[in-house]
């Protein structure tokens, strides 16, 4: 399926700012003149207040690769077609490669002159063969990222199950010992953000390492009141929190002070579901079938299958709210995407998300940015009602519902759905 970064075949990711970019050779020279360790930069990042997460303005001494702070990254497979990778080639974005081949993919992208942020999620924590959080990190995984000039280096953590304090502390202590450029990936049972969050927050503070959450849930971990309250409390308490493998809620996390977030390019990379069963029988029984193409339904701030979105548009009396101003749709309504190549649907989705993230970054970090997001959620719920989507079998958008009054968090119990 297309050309993967491990096997470049000539065509490069599209680059809308190529004229202003340094060439890869110049970048290599710059890198060679810098210490390999990015310790100083990382220390500055850790000392920075998390709510100051803004994109840096370009300066003459800008590092070879752009910093990841404030970015909404696109999480992709290690072998993703080049044209998909190109969707992340804009300011405020970048890539998270997933799986064992992630480091090779990043090296290939560097050779192609990619300068946007790149990270590597080993994802040893997922699936029926996942490893436990007490497992040791593989030294070559951390070293490979450093050799590729990646910052921050993400740990290849195992899964941290319900109440498994030993696994949590194993991941945090290994990450703390691995160096100042390391971010601890925390693949967490959902209870950690609910009942056990006091322990989670205390341990993160005790070890003092930046963390990247992967939140286990059957549906959307940040589309529930408990998940929202837990994430907000963690973001307010810990110096550096990021979120991997998420969906619409990646915007919410950015609005409330996350260092960076990664939204999966497809459904399987936006979700970290519990394993079906220990022996894997459910997996073996199920036949593979292609996942439905999903797009962002911009008026209601949620993902839906393209068919569902087109049907909702066709059923609406006034279709103007569906006209999309993203750079791919250019005012068209969603039925055009049904006949277009799949890449157009993905381009629509990430243009909508990245433009939204830009809108959030344009507000002052803190209350103004949080209110901007919550107001957007309330508008999405209004659209949901006005478009009569309940009558078409759509569930109320979970993330918008859960975050609609979240700016009140900390002052009063959050989360009544907005009226
Ligand atoms: Zn669009």
d(CA 277, CA 275): 6
Length of the chain as a residue count: 419
* CA distances to 170, 227, 256, 384, 395 from 403, in Å: 32, 10, 11, 15, 16
Per-residue pLDDT averaged across 7-30, rounded?
A: 37
Let me know whether 230 and 336 are in one domain.
no
Write out the residue range of the structural domain in which residue 218 sits.
72-274
How many domains in the chain? 2
Q: How far is the CA of 382 from the centre of ligand 1 (A)?
A: 20
Mean pLDDT, rounded, for 377-405: 96
Inside any domain, residue 287: no
| pLDDT above 90: residue 203 | yes
Q: Looking at 42-51, 182-191, 216-225, 280-289, which range is the least confident one?
A: 42-51
Q: Are residues 152 and 249 in the same domain?
A: yes
| 398 and 304 co-located in one domain | yes
- Whether residue 282 has pLDDT greater than 60: no
Task: Quote the ligand 1 centre to 196 CA distance (angstroms).
Answer: 40
Kindly state whether residues 209 and 345 are assigned to the same domain. Answer: no
Distance 332 CA to ligand 1 centre (A): 7
Query: Ligand 1 center to residue 353 CA distance, Å?
Result: 10
Instruction: Render 113-125 in DSSP notation, one character per residue.
Output: T--S-EEEE--TT
Residue 409 has pLDDT above 80, yes or no: no
CA of 249 relative to ligand 1 center, distance in Å: 19
Distance, in Å, from the CA atom of 271 to the CA atom of 91, rounded to the nearest integer, reads 25
Same domain, 199 and 337: no
Distance of CA 330 from the midpoint of ligand 1 (Å): 7
Instruction: Characterize 380-403 residue by residue with b for buried, 16 or more Cβ atoms within 10 angstroms of its Cβ, and e for exposed.
Output: bbebbeebebeeeebebbbbbbbb
Choose one of 240, 274, 308: the last residue of a domain.
Answer: 274
Confidence (pLDDT) at 43: 37
CB 216 within 8 A of CB 274: yes
Q: Are residues 128 and 225 in the same domain?
A: yes
Q: From the CA of 340, how far away is ligand 1's center (Å)?
A: 12
409 C-alpha to center of ligand 1: Å?
Answer: 32
Q: What is the pTM of this model?
A: 0.82
For range 123-128, the mean pLDDT: 94
What integer pLDDT is reported at residue 290 of this predicted model?
72
Q: 333 C-alpha vs ligand 1 centroid, how far in Å?
A: 8
Average pLDDT, the chain: 84
User: By mean pLDDT, which of 9-18, 84-93, 235-244 is the weakest?
Assistant: 9-18
Interval between CA 32 and ligand 1 midpoint (Å): 41
Distance CA 44, CA 310 (A): 47
CA of 329 to the centre of ligand 1 (A): 4
Query: For residue 349, how far is its CA from the centre of ligand 1 (angstroms)?
Result: 7
DSSP helix/strand/coil, 62: coil
Q: What distance in angstroms lies between residue 399's CA and the mean position of ligand 1's atoms?
A: 20
104 and 153 co-located in one domain:
yes
Spacing, Cα 245 to ligand 1 middle (Å): 22
Q: Is residue 163 part of a domain?
A: yes
Please report, for the domain that includes residue 121, its CATH number: 3.20.20.70
| Residue 242 falls inside a structural domain | yes
Q: How far is the CA of 363 from the centre of ligand 1 (A)?
A: 23
What's the rounded Cα separation, in Å, for the pair 376 and 383? 11
pLDDT at 14: 39
Q: How far away, in angstroms, is 338 Cα from ligand 1 center?
A: 12
Ligand 1 centroid to Cα of residue 336, in Å, is 10
134 and 197 within one domain = yes
Mean pLDDT, rounded, for 266-279: 82
What's the pLDDT score for residue 24? 39
Question: Residue 149's Cα: distance from chain center in Å?
Answer: 21
Q: Domain for residue 185, yes or no?
A: yes
Does residue 12 surpass a pLDDT of 60?
no
Is 309 inside any structural domain? yes
Instruction: Please check whether residues 244 and 322 belong to one and the same domain.
Output: no
Ligand 1 geometric centre to CA of 292 (Å): 18
Q: How far is the CA of 298 from the centre of ligand 1 (A)?
A: 8
Specify whether 188 is located in the same domain as 133. yes
Expressed in angstroms and rounded, the spacing between residue 77 Cα and the centre of ligand 1 is: 23
Q: pLDDT value at position 317?
A: 86
**pLDDT value at 40 more than 60:** no
Residue 8 within any structural domain of the chain:
no
Rounded to the nearest angstrom, the distance between the alpha carbon of 381 and the centre of ligand 1 is 19
User: 106, 76 in Cβ contact below 8 A?
Assistant: no
How many percent of the chain have pLDDT more than 70?
79
* Max Cα–Cα distance, the chain, nearest Å: 62
66 pLDDT above the threshold of 90: no
């Amino acid at each position: 399926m297309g050309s993967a970064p491990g096997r470049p075949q000539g065509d490069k990711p599209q680059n809308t700012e190529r004229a202003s970019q340094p060439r890869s050779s110049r970048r290599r020279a710059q890198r060679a003149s810098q210490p390999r360790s990015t310790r100083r930069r990382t220390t500055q990042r850790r000392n920075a207040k998390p709510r100051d997460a803004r994109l840096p303005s370009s300066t003459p001494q800008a590092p070879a690769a752009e910093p990841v702070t404030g970015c909404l990254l696109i999480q992709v497979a290690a072998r993703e077609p080049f044209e998909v990778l190109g969707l992340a080639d804009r300011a405020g974005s970048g890539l998270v490669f997933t799986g064992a081949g992630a480091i090779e993919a990043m090296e290939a992208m560097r050779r192609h002159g990619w300068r946007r942020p790149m990270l590597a999620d080993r994802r040893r924590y997922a699936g029926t063969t996942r490893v436990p959080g007490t497992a040791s990190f593989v030294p070559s995984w951390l070293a490979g990222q450093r050799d590729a000039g990646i910052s921050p280096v993400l740990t290849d953590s195992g899964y941290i199950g319900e109440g498994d304090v030993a696994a949590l502390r194993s991941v945090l202590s290994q990450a703390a010992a691995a160096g100042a450029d390391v971010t601890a990936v925390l693949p967490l049972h959902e209870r950690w953000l609910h009942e056990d969050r006091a322990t989670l927050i205390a341990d993160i503070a005790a070890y003092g390492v930046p963390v990247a959450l992967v939140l286990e849930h059957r549906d959307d971990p940040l589309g529930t009141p408990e998940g929202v309250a837990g994430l907000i409390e963690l973001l307010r308490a810990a110096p550096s929190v990021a979120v991997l493998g998420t969906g619409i809620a990646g915007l919410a996390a950015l609005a409330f002070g996350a260092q960076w977030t990664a939204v999966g390019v497809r459904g399987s990379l936006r979700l970290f579901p519990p394993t079906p069963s220990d022996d894997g029988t459910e997996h073996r029984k199920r036949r593979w079938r292609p996942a439905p193409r999903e797009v962002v339904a911009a008026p209601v701030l949620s993902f839906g299958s393209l068919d569902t979105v087109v049907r909702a548009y066709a059923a609406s009396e006034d279709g103007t709210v569906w006209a999309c101003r993203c750079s791919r749709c250019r005012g068209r309504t969603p039925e055009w995407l049904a006949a277009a190549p799949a890449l157009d649907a993905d381009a629509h989705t990430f243009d909508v998300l990245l433009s939204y993230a830009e809108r959030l970054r344009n507000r002052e970090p803190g209350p103004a940015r949080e209110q901007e997001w919550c107001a957007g959620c309330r508008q999405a719920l209004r659209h949901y009602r006005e478009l009569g989507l309940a009558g078409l079998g759509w569930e109320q958008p979970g993330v918008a519902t859960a975050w609609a009054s979240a700016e009140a968090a900390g002052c009063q119990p959050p989360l009544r759905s907005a009226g």
